[in-house]
Amino acid sequence: MTRERLRDRFPKGATRRMTQLGLLIGAALDDLVPRYDDAVVYATQYGETRALEGYLDSFPAASPTLFQTSIHPSAVQQAMITRQQPVGEFFPMTGRGHLVAQAVQTSLLSPAPRVLLCGGEERGTWLLTRGVASDRTFAFAVALTAEPGGALGRVALRPEDGTGGATEFSLPDFFEALKARQALDRPVGPGARLILDWT
């Protein structure tokens, strides 16, 4: 179980107040050692699915705690509150087929010296059967910077003329490419081509 596996990475007692996605994003961000001058771009299509399911299941005595968790970009909030650390900028993003393009573009346009691009989903239960939840749980975080020292790869967005085929590129597909260190050169949104090379 995620909570038990990641419990030792957080202060004692913190994990009982965190969602599954909060734990995963927190662990992924922790590996990058966030700094006060970082910008954080957070991408998710469904967000805190399990908290939303729990909130809806709590009716007619609706849970204020589950309501708050279900509507905030709480995965990143939980991670940073646990660290008791501010960040320079925070861009929570949601969307569908063009979410990756929007998140990468936001990351590349930020003037911060380093941008932490993170994202993830929680696997839904009954919301999944209605087509409004992720069918898997995952999280990722990568640091983007203009400094080439120690870089594992290079990411770029290039103009795309629209003749390169399908432009949708899902967040799970992006996660898989990052996990496998897969090179990418493909359209990911209207007028945008994602280039990802690994060293």
- Provide the β-strand partners of residue 193: 158, 187
Domain count, the chain: 1
**140, 112, 107, 133: CA torsion to nearest 10:** 50
Q: Convert the pLDDT of each residue in 149-195 to its tens digit.
A: 888 999 999 988 766 566 788 999 999 999 999 999 998 888 889 99
pTM of the model: 0.89
Residue 108 has pLDDT above 90, yes or no: yes
Report the 10 Å Cβ neighbour count for 102. 18
Amino acid identity, position 106: T
Which pLDDT belongs to residue 6?
65
Report the 10 Å Cβ neighbour count for 179. 10
Whether 11 contacts 45, CB under 8 Å: no
52-61 — which CB contacts under 8 Å span 24+ positions?
52/127, 53/124, 53/125, 53/126, 53/127, 53/133
Whether 172 contacts 136, CB under 8 Å: yes
Residue 110 has pLDDT above 90, yes or no: yes
Joined together, the tokens standing for residue 94 give 């949601």
Q: Convert the pLDDT of each residue in 91-103 to its tens digit.
A: 999 988 899 999 9
- Provide the β-strand partners of residue 58: none
Domain that holds residue 183: 2-198
Q: Which of 37, 36, 11 is CA-nearest to residue 26?
A: 11
